[in-house]
Amino acid sequence: MDSMAQTPEAPRGARYFVLQQYFLRNGGQPGRLHAFLEKGLLAACRRLKAPAPALVLEALVAPHMPQVACLTAYASLDQWLETRARLAADEGFRAALAALEQDAEPPYEDYSEILLEAAPYTPPMPESLPAAPQPRIFELRLYHSPTERQLRALHDRFAGPEIPIFHRVGIHPILYGSTLAGPHKPNLVYLTPFESLAAREKAWNAFSADPEWAKVRAESIARHGQISSVIQISLYRAAAYSPLR
């Protein structure tokens, strides 16, 4: 079993998640960023006993590649802001950041920071995932809804019949949430680990062919219209030093 370093300040039943996405170019940027995240950010969070990224991910298929993403859980917005302030004041973290930025080439093209509010039905963040025979695949999906009313209907569908169908066919997301601050609102965002690309394809094929899902989807459209009008999908693998992988 892979172990995930939990700290007292990072409860498994998190209310908020911050998704950071670093957009890079090929060359030296990915290696420099990974060194900073592993030896600068994660090390500082352990030293400060502060919430640390549970996942550090490298994009396999995404709108911008290369890309590195970090996902961190927080119990409150105050905890997120306090962690940022503590890192900014930490001498070791500041030194690691200075080393990242000292090269003539910028460390990344740019980065985004998306604040997600956990859905009431999101499961506790796992402490570990079962050992896999090969590097695991993580699929990030964003479903954009045309209106807030339809987003509520989408959440109700997930919390009601959809998740049991997911589980029956082998889809087990570890996070469900909606963007509080960030692009493509209103939306539902969820993250799912798969043992392999083949396992992912098998699960989604089974879901698409499931007769109960066909009924649930038809009833949903009849009642609320097309409540997920745009779907964005990105595939990642965990970095070797990612606490959860």
Walk along the chain (245 residues) and give the pLDDT tens digit of each residue: 333 333 334 446 689 999 999 999 999 999 999 999 999 999 999 999 999 999 999 999 999 999 999 999 999 999 999 999 999 999 999 999 999 999 889 999 999 999 999 999 999 999 899 888 889 999 999 999 999 999 999 999 999 999 999 999 999 999 999 999 999 999 999 999 999 999 999 999 999 999 999 999 999 999 999 999 999 999 999 999 999 99
Neighbour count for residue 55 (Cβ, 10 Å)? 25
Q: Could you tell me the CA-to-CA distances from 207 to 75, 164, 167, 210 in Å, in that order?
A: 33, 11, 10, 5
**The model's pTM:** 0.92
Give the Cα separation of 119 and 137 in Å (integer).
23
SS3 24: coil
Q: Could you tell me the CA-to-CA distances from 90 to 43, 97, 113 in Å, in that order?
A: 11, 11, 21
User: Got the DSSP string for 143-158?
Assistant: EE-SSHHHHHHHHHHI
Neighbour count for residue 128 (Cβ, 10 Å)? 12
Cis previous bond, 66, omega within 30: yes
Q: Could you tell me the CA-to-CA distances from 75 to 8, 16, 41, 125, 213 in Å, in that order?
A: 11, 6, 19, 12, 33
